[in-house]
Structure 1
Amino acid sequence: MEATSPPPPGSELDRAHRRRRSLMIAFWVLVFVTAAVGNTMTTRMDAMRYDIPSPTWQIATNEFSSIVLGLLMLPFLLKACDRWPLHADTWRRRLPLYLLGSVAYCACHVVGMDLLRMLVYAGFGSKYEPGPWANQAVYEYLKDIRTFFLIVAVGHMVEWFGRHIQGEASLLDVPDEGQPVEAVDRPERFLVRKLGRDFLVATADIEWVQSAGNYVNLRVRGRDYPLRSTLAALETRLDPAVFVRAHRSYLVHLAQVTSIEPLDAGDARLHMADGTVLPCSRRYRESLRAAAAGAEPALARA
């Protein structure tokens, strides 16, 4: 089952993704801790009401041990959501994977929670008895599967909303009727959708293209717009005299390259017009210089 690569480190999409992830983790910490405090208080009041001999430390240990394990596993679960997102064309294939993941999530949760309780109980001179493992497994799984899929649903919803705000790009399709307004094999414009509105972005305005797994990011005036395509497939659609491969993950617009800085290992750095520095691998350095020689002699001498 194929995985989807996360946004490239340092990109605008990566920074936005990290901000959303930090807010999401803070949200779940608040929810989990509030639930643990509330459950501890209500369970303590029930114990006092019905005269059940249950000390406060024991109640708090039982509640917070579950929360601690849930929070420890939260980053891994959110990372799995990034790697295997549930899209309209993938959810049927990936749903069994998530069901298996919920079983693993519950197993780790129960084992870690029991070990933590045993450790705390021993510190108070007591002994924790989890009871029959089969009963506990069924009981905990019925609770954990709800928590698991709630986290998955919220995670995907937040990421969808983030992409909706960020915007996404698509290639213009051949019209259902009549002749296309431009050559489909060599697009002059891309369709960009952002917050429910469509915009046309000129291909000449694209500064560079960056690979991101099953997507590529079009860099346009300081913003990244994801396009569902591989870098190799998009490269065949763009003018090779204008867009040149500089790295296995980068395709650059020659007019946006201001200088090529050679490195000792044979690689190079590309200084772009907006001040960004992109990598240029040794494999593509000479072909890029040759292309630059035809477009701008100053670059060839760098």
Structure 2
Amino acid sequence: MTNAPAPAAPQPAADRYLPLRRSVEVGYWVVSFCLSAAVNTATALMDYQRDGRPIQAWEPMAWEWSSALVSLALVPAVIWFTRRYPLHFDTWLRRLAPYLAASVAWSLLHVLGMVALRKLAYAAQGSSYDFGDWPRELFYEYLKDALTFAGMVVTIHVYRMLLRRMQGEASLLAAPDAGPPVEPVERPQRFLVRKLNREFLVATDDIEWMQASGNYVNLRVSGRDYPLRSTIAAMESRLDPLRFKRVQRSYIVNLDHIASIEPLDSGDARVHLKDGATIPCSRRYREALKPG
């Protein structure tokens, strides 16, 4: 009589979600703006009908859907900006000025884009669209757009925080309150990873490569990324230079995990790792990979 195979261990939530991540993120923004446009269109039609004001059904559709489509087209720019200038509890005051400037730029692009689409829609119906007094209307639109922009920024940052918690966020081991540290603090041998309600240690030697991402550095370990709040330059200064090498402005690689290096005609190179991943190597850092 043969023993039945042991049931497979349940897949972690992060592993189940990551293959769906892109679809969920894109779907969220599409559904959000399309639903908002549909509801606002229906509301505008009901308001005009209730007040007895004449209006063509396509007009509120042109107003609301032009706004939604331009807002949707600007989502990648907001995502890039929040990644370039991430907000944290200890830095948010310094970020107020660039975020205020970004909200103004976002509003201008939004208004110009939606007015252009509305003019096209009205022209297609043999009519013309008048935005009105531009200075006053721009200020009015900015008041609404600033709230929309702030809501997008909050949504993106909260989502990223939850994603880091789910994937596991790394931190450096701090020096003990009393007594000497077990290992050198300035040359870390392990990192602490907090994942939901669990904590575990990751050996520095197990890190395959690192990539800068805004105010974080993603540590790649066994196919998983653990974000560590640091700069790539700070990490380079604390790692063993005989084992870890900077290969590009945003990448550090563990030499033990390199399978091959592919030279490119441009003078740069591709670094092929043992797990099948490929990371870029710029000409500036290529010499560092040659055996000494």
SS at match of 1:190: strand
1:101 corresponds in structure 2 to 102
1:36 corresponds in structure 2 to 37
Using CA pairs below 8 Å that are at least 6 residues apart, which structure has the higher relative contact order? Answer: 1
TM-score (norm 1): 0.77
1:59-110 Cα distance to aligned partner (Å, 9 max, x none)? 3222222222222222222222222111122211112222222222222222
1:144 aligns with 2:142: no
Q: CA deviation at 1:180?
A: 0.8
1:69 aligns with 2:77: no
Q: CA RMSD of the aligned region, Å?
A: 3.0
1:116 aligns with 2:107: no
1:224-277 Cα distance to aligned partner (Å, 9 max, x none)? 222233344333333333334455544433433345556677665544333334
Answer whether contact 1:20 1:158 (CA < 8 A) is retained.
Answer: no
Q: CA deviation at 1:179?
A: 1.4
Structure 1 stretch displaced more, 262-271 or 240-249 = 262-271
* 1:113-262 alignment, distance < 5 Å: 113-212=114-213, 214-260=215-261
Answer whether contact 1:247 1:280 (CA < 8 A) is retained.
Answer: yes
SS at match of 2:59: helix
SS at match of 2:208: strand
For 1:259 and 1:127, how far apart are their aligned partners in 2? Answer: 62
1:51 corresponds in structure 2 to 52
SS at match of 1:290: coil
2:79 corresponds in structure 1 to 78
Change (3 A) 1:263 1:133: closer
Structure 1 stretch displaced more, 84-93 or 66-75 = 66-75
Q: Which amino acid aligns with 1:39?
A: N
For 1:56 and 1:250, how far apart are their aligned partners in 2? Answer: 54
For 1:229 and 1:60, how far apart are their aligned partners in 2? Answer: 47
Structure 2: segments with no counterpart, 5+ residues:
1-16
Q: CA deviation at 1:18?
A: 10
SS at match of 2:188: coil
Change (3 A) 1:184 1:34: closer
Change (3 A) 1:188 1:281: same
Count of residues paired in the alignment: 276
SS at match of 2:209: strand
For 1:189 and 1:76, how far apart are their aligned partners in 2? Answer: 36
SS at match of 1:115: helix
Q: CA deviation at 1:140?
A: 1.9
For 1:248 and 1:108, how far apart are their aligned partners in 2? Answer: 31
Q: Quick one: percent identity of the two aligned structures?
A: 53
Change (3 A) 1:102 1:173: same
Q: Which amino acid aligns with 1:225?
A: Y
Structure 1: segments with no counterpart, 5+ residues:
1-15, 292-302
For 2:35 and 2:83, how far apart are their aligned partners in 1? Answer: 26
